[in-house]
Structure 1
Amino acid sequence: MFEINDIQTSGIGIYFKRGALLSELMKLPDPKPSYSYDWGDEHGIEYDDSAPMVFAPLQYDVTVYITANSPSALMDVRTALLNILSDPAGFSLNVLPLEREYKLRYKGSSGTRLISPIYSNGQQWCEIGLKLENNFDEVRTMLYLADMNGLLAATSDDELILVTDTRQLF
């Protein structure tokens, strides 16, 4: 359902808090201030109506859970997550339910909490709050080609055809 740098997150022991990630990713960006002047002897403010609207980077507060079957394995997952986050170029988050990729940067952590009981059913869980930034770098968009009236052939293995495009998204 989610991939970080084209690696399935559940395969490396990283999960996102249910519903919270998609809500954060659907936020609208705030516009950057445009040129304006407040004339002292006139009502209101005069805005430059010819300048295009540009947006400030979006800030996301995301909760992830890391899990493993031993304390040492949990620390390995934590290290793997930190290695992903510490890339100075950022990382890509592929969100399959939205058929979209996001290019994100790590801006800090809002806290960590071991889930009680710390060790349950052979698994150890840790909750980590992440502060991420979306600076609107170009990303892939993904869509499946629709087979309208049988005119479009699927692959030889009868799989859907996935098409990607790269563009700047807001």
Structure 2
Amino acid sequence: MSFELDNKNIESLGLFFKQGTLYKELLKFPKPKTPFTYNWADQHGEERDTISPVRYEPLQYALVCYMVADNVDDLMAKRTKILELISNPKGFLLNSTTLGRSFKLYYEDSPSFNLLTPILTAAGKIYCEFILNVINNFDEVGLIVPLQDINSYVLTELGQQIYVTINKQLF
């Protein structure tokens, strides 16, 4: 399971996700927005808009995270770097190689931060657990896909695959 936060490997940031929680959040189905309806007085039920495409409410995720640091200075540096990456007003990308897709997310808040080991440990690492509340607004993300025809992948003269980037709105 490999993840990147704005094209930076999360393990290099000392960031890990609690086992079994990330996919549970990322794979939730979005709630459709209420379609236009009209309740005619002389008819049963409601008349619903059946022509317009379905639009979705933004999804909120509560990502349970762990951070590992070598010492207090390393903890503060990693915390600062993570906050810097996720606080971009344009959002940030969480890339999952396992799912083969990216999620454009917006940082909302972090309601908890727990030290799992004492911060003034003489030897050993510092382990922390925290929750990141983020919003998926279903913005378009770039997908990197291999170029292929109906028979197989298209290769270069050296036998390497060709990849193209497409922008797509994923749900």
Shorter-normalised TM range? 0.7 to 0.9
| 1:140 lines up with 2:153 in the alignment | no
Q: Report the equivalent of 2:73.
A: 72
Q: Supply the distance in 2 between the matched residues of 1:125 and 1:9 (Cα, whole angstroms).
A: 15
TM score, norm. by length of structure 2: 0.84
Identity of aligned residues (%): 39
Q: Aligned pair count?
A: 169
Aligned partner letter, 1:123 = K
Higher helix proportion (structure 1 or 2) = 1
Unpaired segments ≥5 residues, structure 2: none
Tell me the CA shift for residue 165 of structure 1: 2.2
Unpaired segments ≥5 residues, structure 1: none
Moved over 6 A (4+): 148-151
Q: Secondary structure at the match of 2:11?
A: helix
Q: Report the equivalent of 2:47.
A: 46
Q: Supply the distance in 1 between the matched residues of 2:166 and 2:59 (Cα, whole angstroms).
A: 22
Tell me the CA shift for residue 133 of structure 1: 0.8
Contact 1:103 1:139 in 2 (8 A): yes
Deviating more after overlay: 129-138 vs 15-24: 15-24
Q: Supply the distance in 2 between the matched residues of 1:6 and 1:71 (Cα, whole angstroms).
A: 25
Q: Supply the distance in 1 between the matched residues of 2:28 and 2:71 (Cα, whole angstroms).
A: 36
Give the RMSD, CA atoms, in angstroms: 2.8
Contact 1:60 1:131 in 2 (8 A): yes
Aligned partner letter, 1:115 = L
Tell me the CA shift for residue 106 of structure 1: 0.3
- Map Cα deviations across residues 40-70 of structure 1 (whole Å, 9 max, x no partner): 4543222122222111111111011111100
The one of 132, 139, 159 aligned to 1:130: 132
